[in-house]
């Protein structure tokens, strides 16, 4: 390992004053992303503002074997941008320009530091918008969205980030500047665009993104359906989709979430309901009217006790305000909460909610449920107090058990927040050793020295063996072929 001083000295020659941080007090704000349970102070924070600076930083790190962790707005929920203590944290915040907007082809070329919502705001007057809308969209950067394959409430109808970008420019660690994807609707060769999307900064540094823009739907209407049993609400989700309706958003909140959100923003939610569904339909006037009528009928048949259709745009915004404020609202209930992100087949919603409730009782910890029901993407929020000894560890254990159950019923440990550092142990339960080895070889194909975001996303087999030894499932040791430590 090179002497810290000498590296900082070399870096300082590449960047003007103020774009390289290395004093502890300057580094502290960067010690974590939105998953504050994990913290590390990096060797330095580099904040380049042009591609030449970026290239020279990567080249210096490559030559000196210094790890590089890319960071957008730091809103990630899985510790993907957690710094490496011996590495450079590469902030792309200054790459914040919208380069071009193409109104004829419905695309925009943007730099990675542009905020998600800023894209939609910039193209609004053209009648266009960028569809993926993670709840942090006011702050999160598009580069981070690509790195995490971010979702949001409209994924069921409009897809994830991977469905809404068409081209990337990236820099590899060994200095190649690559154009991935194409302006056309397909591109020759392997689908590297899909591979890079959601790769959590492990394969390359994104320098430019071409996003797809969609026409703003003529109408969007939302209905609020109340249920006196959360299992019935879970089943109603499947019933709506089975009848051929693809809602623009279909969200479920349990009683604790309803009360917390309503107390916080006065969304007009029924406090006595066991669960509510928010069902949004968008499209042309005729299409929305047809489907809204049908959805209302299905929800009634499925056992909704009350259905309210937002009477105007103001009430629609009010219904959504409760959902969008649900996380901070739950934050008022407890000193800390832990947000999980498992995704399951929709028909398993009731079953998994029941299991979560059992685990909640067993661990004597409250779990609040608010999630993207249409996608089967759960966000159980486990309440805890990090100041109490061992409570974070117990919470992580409880969260781990919820994720194990998601995998058991045919789901996945993460739908949209990413693996990062947070769910790295659960990767061992979802993938076998051949699959994990294959993932490592993909990493090496892009980053032979393994300098980009080391230690994240894909666990080592040794880590899985150690983790597996702690969590023997039904008496079956995962990776029995490996030595135990």
154-193 positions binding another protein, by CB under 8 A: 155-156, 159-160, 162-163, 172, 176-180, 182-192
Q: Mark 399-438 with x for binding to another protein (rule: CB under 8 A) and - for no binding.
A: -----------xxxxxxxxxx---x---x--xxx-xx--x
**What's the rounded Cα separation, in Å, for the pair 71 and 42?**
12
From the list 37, 101, 195, 232, which residue makes contact with another protein (rule: CB under 8 A)? Answer: 195
Q: Does 109 bind another protein (CB under 8 A)?
A: no
Among 306, 347, 401, 449, binds another protein (CB under 8 A): 347
| DSSP secondary structure string for all residues of 236-272 | HHHHHHHTT---SEEEEEEHHHHHHHHHHH-----TT
Which of 59, 289, 366, 450 lies at the binding interface for another protein (CB under 8 A)? 289
Closest contact distance (angstroms) between CB of 123 and another protein is 12
d(CA 30, CA 44): 10
Q: Which stretch binds another protein (CB under 8 A): 215-223, 307-315, 322-330, 475-483?
A: 215-223
Write the DSSP string, 31-63: S--S-TTS----SEEE---SHHHHHHHHHHHHH
Give, as ranges, the residues between 366 and 395 that touch another protein (CB under 8 A): 372, 375-377
Any contact of residue 453 with another protein (CB under 8 A)?
A: no
> How far apart (Å, rounded) are the C-alpha atoms in residues 369 and 378?
8
Q: Which is nearer to another protein, 6 or 284 (CB)?
A: 284
CB nearer another protein, residue 35 or residue 44: 35
Stretch that binds another protein, among 13-21, 143-151, 389-397, 463-471 (CB under 8 A): 143-151
Among 231, 241, 256, 461, binds another protein (CB under 8 A): 241
Q: How many CB atoms lie within 10 A of CB 359?
A: 19
CA distance 111 to 209: 6
Q: Which stretch binds another protein (CB under 8 A): 247-255, 272-280, 386-394, 439-447?
A: 439-447
Q: In Å, how far are 1, 13, 38, 67, 458 from 57, measured between CA atoms?
A: 17, 10, 26, 11, 25
Q: Minimum distance between the CB of residue 454 and another protein, rounded to whole angstroms?
A: 15
Rounded to the nearest angstrom, the gap between the alpha carbon of residue 225 and the centroid of all alpha carbons in its chain is 27
Measured CA to CA in angstroms, residue 88 lies from 27, 57, 67 at distances of 11, 9, 6
To another protein, the closest distance from the beta carbon of 21 in angstroms equals 30
Decide if residue 133 touches another protein (CB under 8 A): no
Q: How far is the CB of 343 from another protein (least distance, A)?
A: 5
Q: Can you tell me the distance from the alpha carbon of 293 to that of 287, in angstroms, rounded to the nearest whole number?
A: 10
Size of the site for another protein (CB under 8 A): 93
317 scored as a contact of another protein (CB under 8 A) = no
Interacting residue with another protein among 215, 328, 335, 480 (CB under 8 A): 215
User: Least distance in Å: CB of 180 to another protein?
Assistant: 7
**18 scored as a contact of another protein (CB under 8 A):** no
Pairing type for strands 44-46 and 88-91 reads parallel
3-class SS of residue 299: helix
Beta-carbon contacts of residue 221 (< 8 Å; ≥ 6 apart)? 280, 281, 282, 288, 292, 309, 310, 316
209 binds another protein (CB under 8 A): no
Residues 243-282 binding another protein (CB under 8 A) are 244-246
- Please list every residue from 76 through 105 that binds another protein, using CB under 8 A: 102, 104-105
| Alpha-helical segments (H) within 251-390 | 255-265, 285-301, 313-324, 326-331, 349-363
- Structural tokens at position 92: 């792309």
137 is a site residue for another protein (CB under 8 A): no
Q: Which two tokens stand for residue 112?
A: 């990675």
Region of 109-117, 136-144, 211-219, 475-483 interacting with another protein (CB under 8 A): 211-219
176 or 385: CB nearest another protein: 176
């Amino acid at each position: 390992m090179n002497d810290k001083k000498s590296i900082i000295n070399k870096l300082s020659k590449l960047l003007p004053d103020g774009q390289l941080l290395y004093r502890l007090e300057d580094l502290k704000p960067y010690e974590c992303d939105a998953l504050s349970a994990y913290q590390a102070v990096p060797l330095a924070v580099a904040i380049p503002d042009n591609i030449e600076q970026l290239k020279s930083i990567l080249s210096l790190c490559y030559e000196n074997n210094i790890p590089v962790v890319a960071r957008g707005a730091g809103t990630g929920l899985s510790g993907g941008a957690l710094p490496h203590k011996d590495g450079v944290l590469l902030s792309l915040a200054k790459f914040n320009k919208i380069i071009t907007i193409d109104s004829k082809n419905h695309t925009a070329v943007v730099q990675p530091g542009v905020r998600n919502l800023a894209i939609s705001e910039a193209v609004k007057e053209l009648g266009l918008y960028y569809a993926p809308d993670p709840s942090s969209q006011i702050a999160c950067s598009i580069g981070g969205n690509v790195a995490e394959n971010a979702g949001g409430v409209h994924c069921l109808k409009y897809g994830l980030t991977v469905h809404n970008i068409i081209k990337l420019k990236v820099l590899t660690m060994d200095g190649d500047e690559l154009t991935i994807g194409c302006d056309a609707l397909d591109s020759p060769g392997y689908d590297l665009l899909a591979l890079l999307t959601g790769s959590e900064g492990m394969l390359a540094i994104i320098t430019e993104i071409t996003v797809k823009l969609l026409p703003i739907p003529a109408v969007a209407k939302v209905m609020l359906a109340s249920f006196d049993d959360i299992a019935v609400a879970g089943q109603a989700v499947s019933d709506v989709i089975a009848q051929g309706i693809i809602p623009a958003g279909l969200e479920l909140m349990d009683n604790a979430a309803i009360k917390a959100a309503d107390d916080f923003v006065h969304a007009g939610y029924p406090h006595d309901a066991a669960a509510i569904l928010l069902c949004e339909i968008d499209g042309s006037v005729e299409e929305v009217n047809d489907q809204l009528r049908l959805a209302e009928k299905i929800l009634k048949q499925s056992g909704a006790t009350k259905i309210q259709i937002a009477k105007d745009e103001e009430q629609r915004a009010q219904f959504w305000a409760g959902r969008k404020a649900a996380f901070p609202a739950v934050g008022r209930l407890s000193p800390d909460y832990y947000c999980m992100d498992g995704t399951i087949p929709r028909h398993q919603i009731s079953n998994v909610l029941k299991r979560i409730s059992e685990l909640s009782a067993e661990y004597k910890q409250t779990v609040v449920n608010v999630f993207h029901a249409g996608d089967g993407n759960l966000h159980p929020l486990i309440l805890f107090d990090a100041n109490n000894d061992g409570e974070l560890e117990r919470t992580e254990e409880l969260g781990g058990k919820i994720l194990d159950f998601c995998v058991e019923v045919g789901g996945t440990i993460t739908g949209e927040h990413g693996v990062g550092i947070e769910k790295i142990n659960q990767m061992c339960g979802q993938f076998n050793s051949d699959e994990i080895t294959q993932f490592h070889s993909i990493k090496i194909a892009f980053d032979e020295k393994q300098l980009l975001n080391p230690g994240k996303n894909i666990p080592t087999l040794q880590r899985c063996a150690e983790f597996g030894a702690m969590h023997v499932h039904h008496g079956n040791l995962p990776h029995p072929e490996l030595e135990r430590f």
